[in-house]
Structure 1
Amino acid sequence: MIVLHARPSPGFRAAVDRIFGAGVVVHVDEAAPLDEVAPEMTALLHVLTPVTREVIAAAPKLKLIQKLGVGVNTIALDAAREHGVAVCNMPGTNSQAVAEMALSLMLAVLRRTPFFDRRTRAGEGWTADPSELDSVGEIGGRTVGLVGFGHSAGRLAPALAALGARVAYTARTSRDVPYEYWPQEKLSAESDILSLHIPLTDETRGRIDPLAMKRGAVLVNTARGELVDEAKLVQALSEGHLRGAGLDVFAQEPLPAESPLLSLPNVVLAPHIAWLTPETLVRSLTVAHENCRRLFGAEPLLHQVV
């Protein structure tokens, strides 16, 4: 049994049936437990709901956890190893979508799109205090720092350069690319816009200190919320140390109703959908289908993490 644990849109469901075959994949809503299907589950298509040690132990026939995406921090990898369950991800399938979302968040913060959208809808778009326009800006002429230089950052960098930005990056090692390689401290201290493109690991958790960023900078996070010290982020935004932030991910998801981020006017928010486009889903499901075929054919799997 192949199980998709998610809350798929009608288009997502149609793509699953088109690629895997109608009725081949069992859909379980992301908010529902996997208890009923666990005993017969052989492959799990995983999106965001954590795959815990308990889930893996309750699925004796499980042979593959296929992440529809890149980050595997929501999977109990040690338990998968102990139970002989392969874990695979799919680097590169969502890179275009994530790069475009990062760019859109940069633009939305700099141009204050939500603020002017609300005023325009209320018939007040032409009556804002003229000083409000003093706080908009352009990407051109700014330094954009990319934390990590994987697939999504590699697609984003040339677009930023084409818009006139100075692009710098940090990574484990320098790359043969036409952008400046800086250490993390310099990148945070000197970037006008800092965009995150690294996985969440024990090493990277809490790596970004917003109060160590350049005053007046913008933080964009389409990677993982726990990369950032969120309490310091709220402080930096509230006190004006940061110009603004564009956030698609958070330390706790869904974002709690009492989160102070919800009331900050200089923040643009999205519900962890940077990766989620119909185009990404087709690419992802194609890889997942191939890995399921390989699993049942006893062939080497693509992008195996465990």
Structure 2
Amino acid sequence: MQEKIVLYKKVADDVLAMLQQAHRVVQFDDINADNRAAFVTELQDAAGLIGASVKIDASVLDHAPRLRAISTISVGIDQFDPADLSKRGIVLLNTPDVLTETTADTGFALILATARRVVEMADYVRQGRWTHSIGEDCFGTDVQGKTLGIVGMGRIGGAVARRASLGFGMPVLYNNRRPDPTAEKAYGARFCSLDTLLQSADFVCITVPLTPETHGMIGAQELAQMRPGAILINISRGSIIDETALISALENGRLRGAGLDVFEREPVAPDSRLLKMPNVVALPHIGSATRETRHGMAVCAAQNLLDALSGNATRNVVNPEVLTPLPT
């Protein structure tokens, strides 16, 4: 039986066709002040919801009494309250595997770019300042053999560790909710406390999900523990780092630099002090932004939703307690 699905992100034609073959689809390319009321109205008789980058909270869900499944085109679930969804009997699904390698590529690109001052030196050339053989004022720092600390050894953290250990001969420290024997065996990663990691690593890469526990986990106290001249990389969520404290640590020279794909507020304000610093590489949240990966995420999310609405969801389920076991 065809049901109603509300799609709130533009997707490729083949992904839209997947959904339309099974259900009736109402599509919004994005949600803004002009169409939010129409979006909420369409939810009143919708069974499924699919999209990304929009806060779906009680103010939205209260208008969706028939909603049974939400599929987010992302691995992050910070736009949702899974506990509230479970109380409402709504299953939440995400796309955890599709973007792992692409996001890890972005993280390592930031490690290299900050260490070797790639963006700063490219601007140096474009500005016509390369008029003689370079000196120490243009030097960067090595990556090969330096110690990498990974905060959060999930899928993406493990993929970053693989690149670091096998590709660049970097000793890997990691902090996680629990030890990861696979990473330890494959990459020689060493489990340690966050304090030890911060005090020992030349590069610190943040890959934890944003939760109430991780919000603001890297603040002034943690930044003060980092080795002088260390570099901080964030490919997770901006709110995990206290941005004011980070700015201070960069301005006073305690940190060599920062590579940031995410910010507390996105898009980041053009007048942010972070954007004035030559030792900050700032990207517009491009962690998974390749054509192949974004398309793969959309296909995965569409299949997740179709499976959930047909009662066959077995993978990528965030709150499995909602699912009713099938009769045996």
The question of a shared fold, defined as TM-score above 0.5 by the shorter chain, is answered with: yes
- In the other structure, the counterpart of 1:3 is 6
Match of 1:207 among 212, 217, 232: 217
Q: C-alpha distance in 2, partners of 1:126/1:47? A: 47
Please report how far the alpha carbon of residue 15 of structure 1 lies from its aligned counterpart in structure 2 after TM superposition: 4.9
Q: C-alpha distance in 1, partners of 2:85/2:178? A: 30
Please report how far the alpha carbon of residue 122 of structure 1 lies from its aligned counterpart in structure 2 after TM superposition: 2.8
Would you say how many aligned residue pairs link Structure 1 and Structure 2? 301
Task: Describe the shift of the 1:25–1:138 C-alpha distance in structure 2 as closer, same or farther (beyond 3 A).
Answer: farther
Aligned to 2:236, what secondary structure does the other structure show?
coil
Aligned positions of 1:21-40 closer than 5 A: 24=25, 26-31=27-32, 32-33=35-36, 34-40=39-45
Deviates more, 1:119-128 or 1:62-71: 119-128
Task: Describe the shift of the 1:179–1:38 C-alpha distance in structure 2 as closer, same or farther (beyond 3 A).
Answer: same
Q: Which runs of 5+ in 2 are unaligned?
A: 320-328
Task: Describe the shift of the 1:18–1:203 C-alpha distance in structure 2 as closer, same or farther (beyond 3 A).
Answer: same
C-alpha contact (below 8 Å) 1:147/1:197 kept by paired residues: yes
Aligned positions of 1:57-136 closer than 5 A: 57-127=62-132, 130-134=135-139, 136=140
Aligned positions of 1:39-54 closer than 5 A: 39-54=44-59
Q: Percentage identity across aligned positions? A: 29
Task: Describe the shift of the 1:80–1:184 C-alpha distance in structure 2 as closer, same or farther (beyond 3 A).
Answer: same
Please report how far the alpha carbon of residue 26 of structure 1 lies from its aligned counterpart in structure 2 after TM superposition: 1.3
Q: Which has the larger radius of gyration?
A: 2
Please report how far the alpha carbon of residue 303 of structure 1 lies from its aligned counterpart in structure 2 after TM superposition: 2.1
Q: C-alpha distance in 2, partners of 1:241/1:63? A: 50
Deviates more, 1:190-199 or 1:164-173: 164-173
Aligned to 2:12, what secondary structure does the other structure show?
helix
C-alpha contact (below 8 Å) 1:197/1:222 kept by paired residues: yes
Q: C-alpha distance in 1, partners of 2:5/2:277? A: 42
Q: C-alpha distance in 2, partners of 1:78/1:265? A: 42
Q: C-alpha distance in 2, partners of 1:66/1:239? A: 44
Q: C-alpha distance in 1, partners of 2:212/2:30? A: 29
Q: C-alpha distance in 2, partners of 1:127/1:78? A: 61
Aligned positions of 1:1-306 closer than 5 A: 1-6=4-9, 8=10, 12-17=11-16, 19-20=18-19, 24=25, 26-31=27-32, 32-33=35-36, 34-127=39-132, 130-134=135-139, 136-161=140-165, 162-176=167-181, 177=184, 178-208=188-218, 209-306=222-319
Give the TM-score normalised by the residue count of structure 2: 0.84
Give the TM-score normalised by the residue count of structure 1: 0.90
Q: C-alpha distance in 2, partners of 1:210/1:256? A: 23
Q: C-alpha distance in 1, partners of 2:133/2:285? A: 31
C-alpha contact (below 8 Å) 2:70/2:305 kept by paired residues: no
Please report how far the alpha carbon of residue 225 of structure 1 lies from its aligned counterpart in structure 2 after TM superposition: 1.1
Q: C-alpha distance in 2, partners of 1:25/1:165? A: 49
- In the other structure, the counterpart of 2:324 is none
Amino acid at match of 1:182: C
Two-structure CA RMSD over aligned residues (Å): 2.2
Aligned to 2:281, what secondary structure does the other structure show?
strand
Q: C-alpha distance in 2, partners of 1:212/1:4? A: 45
Amino acid at match of 2:215: R
Amino acid at match of 2:12: R
Please report how far the alpha carbon of residue 74 of structure 1 lies from its aligned counterpart in structure 2 after TM superposition: 1.3
C-alpha contact (below 8 Å) 2:103/2:235 kept by paired residues: yes
Please report how far the alpha carbon of residue 121 of structure 1 lies from its aligned counterpart in structure 2 after TM superposition: 2.2
Please report how far the alpha carbon of residue 193 of structure 1 lies from its aligned counterpart in structure 2 after TM superposition: 0.2
Task: Describe the shift of the 1:164–1:304 C-alpha distance in structure 2 as closer, same or farther (beyond 3 A).
Answer: same
Please report how far the alpha carbon of residue 36 of structure 1 lies from its aligned counterpart in structure 2 after TM superposition: 4.3
Q: C-alpha distance in 2, partners of 1:17/1:67? A: 15
Please report how far the alpha carbon of residue 84 of structure 1 lies from its aligned counterpart in structure 2 after TM superposition: 1.9
Deviates more, 1:102-111 or 1:27-36: 27-36
Aligned to 1:35, what secondary structure does the other structure show?
helix
